[in-house]
Structure 1
Amino acid sequence: MLSFAKPLLLWIFVCTFLLLIILRVSGTLPWNWFLVFTPMWILDFVALLSLMVCMFHRSVRLRCVCDLGTRLDRFLSVCVILCKLIAQTAICLFAEHLNRQTTGEPLWIPVHRIRLVYIMIPCWTTLLLLLGSLYRNLVDRNIRRAWSFCGQYQIISPTMTSAPRSS
């Protein structure tokens, strides 16, 4: 895909999603909340599919040439996408539950009350995973680079340069 097509596609899907949310909240669009979130699920599916293809492309080889950090980054990316999908589903369930309570329609969710705290658990998990990935990409690599820089200029003491004594 061309380099300008990815951001353009992302921009189109996000704008469509925001427009659908505005129309749904204002009451103009009487769709289900799961249909409103469809553009975001399409983006998540494309991201998950491309990440899985990249991961399995590497594992087809007999020897994996990627280091542990690369595998950890890919695993964190898959976890973030899955947590985001769970959070979107929970938000849709919560919004549909509220919508059916206010309109008086029969509730199809078997619980009497969904608490917002439970809805936010996948969102907080996603944020914690993103913070872990950010820490790993920014802080951890800079610390390793600083230590390797310091390791290049070690002062050699005279006791370290002497040859071992033979007995």
Structure 2
Amino acid sequence: MAVLYRALFTWFISLIFLILVVLRLDDRVRWSWFVVFVPMWLYDSILLICLITSLSSSDRWQRGAIKHLSCLGALVIKVTSQILLCLRLDGADIKLYFVLTPVWIGAPFLIANSFLSLFDSDLVQFSSRMFNRCNSNLWRR
């Protein structure tokens, strides 16, 4: 049942955000882009609190801790790109490639994490297995 509430909350926040974006793009409101992104930052702050509390639990060195840390890194990249995008949209003289740099940095890691989640593995387990295979092949020769 908790998954249902999380999904409904995510859809609600996304709906509010999209309504604010449409209002801002149609020039119905003259708010700053930082105000338009408030629902996303509210959602990100709740996600950050959940990630920190799950990492600070007594069994934090479990198998899922690496996934929590990768989610935390993705959250930092997302918030950084949101701030740079809001600055650019509000008229700051920032080049577009500076705005998209966090996305370009995070995209390969997120793609690898999504691909490895298909096999119920994470990036650290995959890299350690590959490293062990390479070492065993080197010692056989």
Coarse TM-score class (shorter-chain normalised): 0.7 to 0.9
1:132-157 CA distance string (max 9 Å, x none): 2113322474xx8xxxxxxxxxxxxx
Cross-structure match for 1:47: 47
Q: Highest Rg: 1 or 2?
A: 1
**Structure 1 residues 140 and 5, CA gap change in structure 2 (3 angstroms):** closer
Q: Distance in 2 between matches of 1:115 and 1:85?
A: 18
Structure 2 residue ranges without an equivalent (≥5): 127-141
- Pairing partner for 2:115 from 118, 135, 154: 135
RMSD: 2.5
State the alpha-carbon separation in 2 of the partners of residues 136 and 55 from structure 1. 22
Distance 1:73 1:3, change over 3 A: closer
SS in 1 for 2:90: helix
Identity %: 25
Map residues 1-167 of structure 1 onto 2, 5 A cutoff: 2-58=2-58, 64=61, 66-67=62-63, 70-97=64-91, 109=92, 113-139=93-119, 141=121
What letter corresponds to residue 136 of structure 1 in structure 2? L
4+ runs of 1 displaced by more than 6 Å? Answer: none
Query: How many residue pairs are counted as aligned between the two chains?
Result: 125
Looking at structure 2, the residues matched to 33 and 12 of structure 1 have their Cα atoms a distance apart, in angstroms, of 19
Query: Which residue of 2 is the match for residue 101 of structure 1?
Result: none
Q: Structure 1 stretch 125-134 or stretch 22-31: which is displaced more?
A: 125-134
SS of the equivalent of 2:3 reads coil
Deviates more, 1:130-139 or 1:81-90: 130-139
Residues 1:26 and 1:81: Cα distance change in structure 2 (over 3 Å): same
Stretches of structure 1 lacking an aligned partner (at least 5 in a row)? 98-108, 145-167
Shift of 1:44: 0.7
